[in-house]
């Protein structure tokens, strides 16, 4: 062990070994892995080792695909057998909704380039897996690249390949302390102290303790997980092929062959946590006693699905622990506020996702950005609220128990809720608000009559007409929307203007003005679709700016701001102190004017200023995502209740109606307004999405300028964002559905829904440039059914923008 390394990776499981391998292979050879025991000690040694393509997040599915492709290369590169059995895989559905879901996901996989899948009938599935009963099954999906690996061999293959590239592996050496220094981190171990520029927490079951060493409380929790290995099954002994990896979604089980028997794994509905503060340091190669009474229901379903199990014994049981995050996805990336500290934790499917995690983290550390959009596993997707033990226990348990349970896109799950609420939450609830959640905050989806309950659906739900009424009220009179769930950052100080000018690709607004502002990464891809306000000078004479964006990106954006706002700048996240309401619609000015002493007609479109709204001294911006004349009114959180009450009373006789986020999503589609996580992501460039219209090309310097210029002056983007009208029937596109032209896939949907005021099903999509012309006839798969579609002109509602300008 040397005294200094560029990177110290803590943890010798599959994830830590993958991170080490990718760092070394990409050129950072001065790296080491420190393991308190031996490689694989923890979860890796007893993992089932299954690999499969299916994941609800398409970006993570793509990273899983990378891992699967890597495994064969890894064996050849290391010379270490990984015991790869590429048996193919089946995922089976036993209810009509689940079958619809599986067909829809098959199309999503096509849109992201996974082409080795196909849908199969129950009869075909029975031929592919002869020991499976097809009773009650409606269909399935076959994937060529599924199977399993030898877990111990795979970890050692990663480690051996990493050593071949110059990395070092140190076993039997527990990390005792982590101390941040000016240069990086001091890593105190049982065998001495080393200095490192970076440390990676890949500690698995011990991630909690390794986080606490750096003053970090990670939202992770271990849960117990069962699988059994059967005695030899006569029906398998007579086959000349291995049965495929098989997932029975309704039975909560997965199965693969193990020699001439099978491994049957269970996701227990009656879950059980273990060691919420992290595993004991001397734990590693132990297992828990099987708890067959706790998994009786799932066992019965498994033995019914595979009747041959009823004729043989159980050779062995595995009941071991794996670490989960609240949403089941990994925690990866740089920890905000802890420079040089990186996470690679909670990778519960390590042998499936470990390659993608290692690749993305290594790219992030070396190049500053990962190639893929990895927000779905970014550690910054959670805030401080997720450190609460009860929140962690409830949400990780909910994910585990629902691992194979059908979750509808419009379904609201209860764990960890309600947590954060706007001050007027109770008043809005009394008015019929039905709630969603964003970054721990309750957000109104729509307002329904007493006794209404929305039913989960893959198609238009029974709340469809309620949302439609809110949309029409906004277009005809006015809608009132709680905008607590917008992020607000205040930037001030003598250097604020210069710092923001470099951070943002747009021009900065003059005093009393606002502007849409794309923010780019160094590679030219998007880092934000923000609105920047210039509220004018403070007492010191410095302009005070706000950046507004999506509430759930708060920690993600704050990390970026802290890393890239240089100079004499004061940065504050004021999102929880400053809240408000947006009012939009043709009568919005008249309603607001009854409360305002100043003449609101003097506030031009995209103007902003401080106004007296009733008794409240509020910051008001004249802009609207609905495409109507509208205002955003910002107040202190203590004034939220009063502001709502005054606005409702002022609009009572003019048709003002409270609306929720679902109505806003419909109204913005009618204007072809994109949103983050759909049309705008860190995987896309400004030119692809039309955000380049806001770039100030005359600025001599802003982050991402060279890359954006190269795209502008080169061949341009291969795909463009367009608006589609879809001939839908009771269901609408939602995202990642493939778009076809003459039988060839030309793109995919970024988001979609029903345009209530136009009586059309609309979608926005990224498609090939030669298919993007207005009037081009296309088709789109919606819940698995192919529907005719066509490219239409953007902003089908009020294309000239007269309404929003008033």
pLDDT in tens, 102-121: 999 999 988 888 888 999 99
- Band (54; pLDDT cuts 50, 70, 90): low
DSSP string, 288-305: PPP-TTTTHHHHHHHHHH
DSSP code of 589?
H
β-strands 192-201, 341-345 pairing: parallel
Which residues share a beta bridge with 768? Answer: 719
Task: Identify whether the C-beta of residue 203 lies closer than 8 Å to the C-beta of residue 193.
Answer: no
Please identify which residue in the block is written with the tokens 């990676």: 200
> Where is 96: in which H helix or E strand?
helix 96-111
Q: 747-805 pLDDT, tens per residue? A: 999 999 999 999 999 999 999 999 999 999 999 999 999 999 999 999 999 999 999 99
pLDDT digits (tens, 9 = 90+) for 232-251: 999 999 999 999 999 999 99
pLDDT digits (tens, 9 = 90+) for 214-237: 999 999 999 999 999 999 999 999
What's the mean pLDDT in 423-440? 98
Q: Of 728, 791, 715, nearest to 755 (Cα)?
A: 728
pLDDT at residue 318 tops 90 = yes
- Give the list of residues 6+ apart from residue 239 with CB closer than 8 angstroms, or none: 130
Query: Which has more confidence, 459 or 62?
Result: 459
Q: DSSP state, 420?
A: B
CA distances from residue 179 to 61, 457, 629, 631 in whole angstroms, order as listed: 36, 50, 54, 49
Parallel/antiparallel/unpaired status of strands 630-636 and 441-447: unpaired
Residues 350 and 374 sit within 8 Å (Cβ to Cβ): no
Task: Report d(CA 78, CA 70) in Å as an integer.
Answer: 12
Count Cβ neighbours within 10 Å for each residue of 752-778 and write b for 16 or more, e otherwise.
bbbbbbbebbbbbbbbeeebbeeebeb
- Cβ proximity of 25 and 18 under 8 Å: no
Tell me if 718 sits within 8 A of 746, measured CB to CB.
no
Per-residue confidence band for 56, with pLDDT thresholds at 50, 70 and 90: low
In a 13 Å sphere around the CA of 256, the CA atoms on its Cβ side amount to 21
Residue 652 near residue 591 (C-beta atoms within 8 A): no
Domains and CATH numbers, the chain: 4-324 (3.30.9.10), 487-573 (3.30.70.1400), 578-654 (3.30.1360.120), 676-804 (2.40.30.110)
Instruction: Enumerate the β-bridge partners of residue 139.
Output: 93
Q: Has residue 207 got a pLDDT over 70?
A: yes
- Tell me how far CA of residue 203 lies from CA of 11, 29, 109, 167, 179, in angstroms: 4, 21, 32, 18, 17
Question: What's the CA gap between 336 and 554, in Å, rounded?
Answer: 11
Contact residues for 666 (Cβ-Cβ < 8 A; gap 6+): 467, 468, 471, 753, 754, 755, 756, 757
**Side by side, which strands form the sheet with 543-550?**
513-520, 526-537, 543-550, 486-492, 570-573
pLDDT value of residue 336: 86
pLDDT, mean of residues 379-392 = 96
Percent of the chain at pLDDT exceeding 70: 100
Strand, helix or coil for residue 602: helix
**759, 770 in Cβ contact below 8 A?**
no
Using only the alpha carbons of the chain, give its radius of gyration.
Answer: 27
Q: What are the tens digits of pLDDT across the range 39-53?
A: 999 999 999 999 987
Mapped onto helix, strand or coil, the DSSP state of residue 51 is strand
Phi, psi angle pair for 144, to nearest 5°:
-65, -45
SS3 of 747-798: EEEEEEEEECCCCEEEEEEEEEHHHCCCCCEEEEEECCEEEEEEEECCCCCC
Q: What is the mean pLDDT of residues 543-564?
A: 97
Average pLDDT, the chain: 96
Q: Please report which confidence band the pLDDT of residue 58 belongs to, taking 50, 70 and 90 as the band edges.
A: confident
Decide: residue 159, CB within 10 A, 0-12 exposed, 13-18 middle, 19+ buried: buried
Picking from 654, 674, 639, 642, the residue whose alpha carbon sits closest to that of residue 764 is 674
pLDDT at 593 over 80: yes
In the block, residue with structure tokens 């006794």: 451
Number of helices (H), then strands (E), in the chain: 20, 37
DSSP β-bridge partners for residue 533: 514, 546
The Cα–Cα gap between 528 and 306 comes to 50
At 398, is the secondary structure helix, strand, or coil? Answer: helix
Query: CB–CB of 56/64 below 8 Å?
Result: no
pLDDT value for 113: 83
* Cβ atoms of 332 and 350 closer than 8 Å: no
Residue 414's pLDDT band (boundaries 50, 70, 90)?
A: very high
Close Cβ partners of 280 (under 8 Å, ≥ 6 residues apart): none
Rounded distance, CA 289 to CA 292, Å?
Answer: 9
**For residue 103, which phi and psi values (nearest 5 degrees)?**
-65, -40
Query: How many residues are present in the chain?
Result: 806
State the number of CA atoms in the 13 A half-sphere of 750 facing the CB: 25
Distance (Å) of CA 291 to CA 20, 200, 320, 401:
36, 35, 11, 16
> Whose CA is closest to 677, among 751, 749, 761, 738?
751
Report the pLDDT value the prediction gives residue 282, as an integer from 0 to 100: 93
- Identify the pLDDT of residue 337: 85
What is the C-alpha to C-alpha distance for residues 656 and 385, in angstroms, rounded to an integer?
Answer: 34
What pLDDT was estimated at residue 42? 94
CA distance 93 to 99: 5
| Positive or negative: CA dihedral 324, 326, 327, 332 | negative
Report pLDDT digits (tens) over 138-173: 999 999 999 999 999 999 999 999 999 999 999 999
Biggest CA pair distance of the chain: 87
Identify the helix (H) or strand (E) that includes residue 492: strand 486-492
What's the sign of the alpha-carbon dihedral 688, 692, 694, 700?
Answer: positive
The structure tokens listed for 123 are: 């009869």
**What's the pTM?**
0.95
Q: Is the pLDDT assigned to residue 721 strictly greater than 90? A: yes
Contact call for residues 438 and 420 (beta carbons, < 8 A): no
Dihedral of alpha carbons 48, 54, 59, 63, sign? positive
Residues 6+ apart with CB under 8 A from 751: 665, 669, 674, 675, 678, 679, 733, 734, 735, 763, 764
Strands (E), 231-284: 245-248, 253-258, 261-266
57 pLDDT band (50/70/90 cuts)?
confident
d(CA 22, CA 226): 31
Q: Find where tokens 């390659």 sit.
A: 355
Inform me whether the pLDDT recorded for 705 exceeds 80. yes
Angle at which helices 58-78 and 96-111 cross, to 10°? 60
């Amino acid at each position: 062990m040397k005294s200094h390394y560029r990177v110290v990776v803590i943890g010798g499981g599959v994830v830590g070994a993958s991170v080490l391998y990718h760092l070394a292979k990409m050129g950072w050879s001065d790296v080491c892995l420190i393991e308190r025991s031996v490689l694989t000690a923890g979860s890796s040694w007893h993992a089932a080792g299954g690999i499969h393509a299916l994941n609800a997040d398409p970006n993570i599915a793509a990273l899983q695909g990378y891992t699967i492709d890597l495994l064969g290369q890894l064996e050849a590169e290391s010379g270490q057998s990984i015991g790869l059995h590429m048996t193919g895989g089946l995922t089976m559905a036993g209810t009509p909704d689940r079958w619809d879901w599986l067909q829809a996901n098959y199309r999503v996989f096509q849109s992201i380039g996974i082409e080795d899948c196909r849908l199969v009938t129950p009869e075909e599935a029975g031929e592919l897996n002869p020991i499976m009963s097809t009773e009650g099954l409606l269909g399935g999906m076959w994937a060529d690249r599924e199977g399993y690996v030898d877990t111990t061999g795979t970890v050692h293959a990663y480690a051996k390949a990493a050593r071949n590239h110059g990395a070092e592996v140190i076993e039997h050496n527990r990390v005792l302390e982590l101390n941040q220094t000016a240069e990086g981190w001091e890593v105190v171990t049982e065998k001495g102290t080393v200095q490192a520029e970076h440390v990676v927490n890949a500690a698995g079951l011990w991630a909690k303790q390794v986080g606490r060493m750096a003053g970090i409380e990670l939202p992770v929790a271990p849960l117990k997980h069962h699988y059994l290995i059967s005695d030899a099954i006569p029906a398998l002994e007579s086959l000349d092929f291995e049965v495929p990896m098989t997932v029975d979604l309704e039975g909560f089980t997965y199965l693969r062959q193990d020699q001439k028997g099978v491994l049957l794994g269970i996701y227990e509905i009656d879950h059980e946590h273990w060691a919420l503060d992290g595993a004991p340091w001397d734990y590693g190669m132990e297992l828990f006693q099987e708890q067959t009474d706790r998994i009786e229901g799932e066992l019965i379903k498994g033995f019914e699905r595979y009747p041959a199990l009823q004729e043989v014994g159980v050779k062995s049981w595995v009941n071991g622990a794996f670490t989960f995050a609240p949403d089941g996805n990994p925690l990866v990336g740089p920890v905000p506020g802890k420079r040089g500290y990186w996470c690679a934790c909670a990778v519960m499917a390590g042998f499936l996702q470990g390659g993608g995690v290692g690749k993305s983290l290594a790219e992030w550390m070396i190049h500053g950005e990962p190639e893929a959009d990895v927000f779905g596993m970014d550690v910054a997707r959670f805030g401080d609220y997720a450190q609460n033990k009860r929140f962690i226990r409830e949400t990780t348990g909910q994910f585990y128990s629902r691992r194979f349970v059908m979750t509808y896109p419009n379904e609201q799950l209860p764990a960890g809720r309600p947590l954060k609420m706007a001050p007027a939450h109770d008043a809005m609830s009394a008015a019929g608000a039905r709630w969603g959640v964003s970054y721990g905050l309750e957000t109104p989806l729509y307002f329904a009559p007493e006794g209404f309950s929305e039913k989960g659906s893959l198609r238009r739900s029974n709340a469809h007409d309620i949302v439609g009424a809110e949309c029409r009220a906004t277009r005809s009179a006015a809608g009132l929307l709680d905008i607590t769930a917008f992020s607000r950052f205040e930037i001030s100080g003598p250097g604020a203007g210069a710092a923001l000018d470099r951070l943002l690709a747009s021009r900065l607004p003059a005093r009393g003005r606002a502007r849409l502002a794309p923010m780019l990464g160094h590679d030219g891809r998007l880092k934000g679709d923000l609105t920047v306000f210039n509220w004018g000078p403070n007492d010191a004479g410095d302009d005070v700016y706000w950046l507004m964006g999506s509430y759930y990106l708060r920690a993600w954006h704050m990390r970026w701001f802290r890393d890239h706002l240089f100079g004499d700048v004061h940065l504050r996240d004021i999102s929880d102190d400053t809240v408000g309401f947006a009012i939009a619609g043709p009568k919005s000015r008249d309603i607001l004017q009854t409360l305002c002493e100043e003449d609101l007609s003097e506030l031009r479109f995209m103007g902003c200023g401080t106004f007296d709204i009733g008794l409240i001294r509020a910051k008001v911006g004249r802009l609207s995502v609905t495409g109507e004349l509208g205002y955003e009114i910002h107040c202190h959180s203590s004034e939220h209740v009063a502001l709502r009450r005054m606005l409702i009373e002022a609009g009572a006789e003019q048709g003002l109606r409270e609306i929720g986020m679902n109505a806003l999503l419909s109204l913005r589609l009618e204007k072809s307004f994109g949103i983050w996580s759909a049309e705008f992501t860190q995987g896309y460039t400004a030119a692809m999405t039309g955000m380049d219209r806001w770039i100030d090309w005359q600025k001599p310097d802003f982050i991402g300028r060279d890359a954006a210029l190269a795209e502008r002056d080169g061949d341009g983007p291969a795909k463009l964002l367009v608006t589609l009208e879809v001939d839908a029937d009771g269901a609408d596109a939602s995202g990642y559905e493939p778009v076809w032209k003459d039988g060839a896939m030309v793109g995919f949907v970024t988001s979609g829904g029903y345009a209530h005021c136009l009586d059309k099903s609309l979608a926005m999509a990224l498609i090939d440039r030669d298919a993007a012309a207005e009037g081009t006839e296309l088709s789109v798969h919606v819940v698995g059914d192919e529907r005719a579609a066509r490219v239409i002109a953007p902003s089908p509602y009020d294309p000239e923008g007269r309404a929003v300008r008033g």
